[in-house]
């Protein structure tokens, strides 16, 4: 998703992969009783922020063939 945000392009395979990942996360988050979730709605922001920050470094190596350092990429994304 970071790569898409910077490169402004999204392939069909990426769309399918992202949708599949969302469905898998939803399934894994639902407890066995199918009534409660492990991560509550108000708890997602901190988890997603941490995951986003961890993804900056590997994403910088892929976006435009490593054109941007992780620090530069982070700055670019903060402008959006």
Average pLDDT, the chain: 92
Range of the domain at 56: 2-79
DSSP string, 23-53: HHHHHHHB-TTSS-BSS-GGGHHHHHHHHHH
Sequence-ordered list of residues with C-beta below 8 angstroms from that of 37, at least 6 positions apart, any chain? 29, 30, 31
How large a percentage of the chain has pLDDT more than 70? 99
Domain count, the chain: 1
Integer Cα distance of 27 and 21 in angstroms: 10
User: Which pTM was predicted?
Assistant: 0.68
Integer Cα distance of 18 and 40 in angstroms: 21
How large a percentage of the chain has pLDDT more than 90? 75
pLDDT above 90 (res 4)? no
């Amino acid at each position: 998703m970071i790569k898409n945000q910077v490169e402004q392009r999204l392939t069909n395979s990426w769309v399918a992969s992202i949708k599949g990942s969302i469905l898998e996360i939803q399934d894994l988050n639902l407890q066995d009783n199918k009534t409660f979730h492990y991560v509550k709605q108000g708890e997602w922001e901190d988890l997603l922020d941490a995951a986003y920050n961890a993804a900056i470094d590997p994403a910088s190596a892929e976006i435009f063939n490593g054109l941007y350092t992780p620090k530069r990429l982070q700055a670019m994304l903060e402008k959006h």
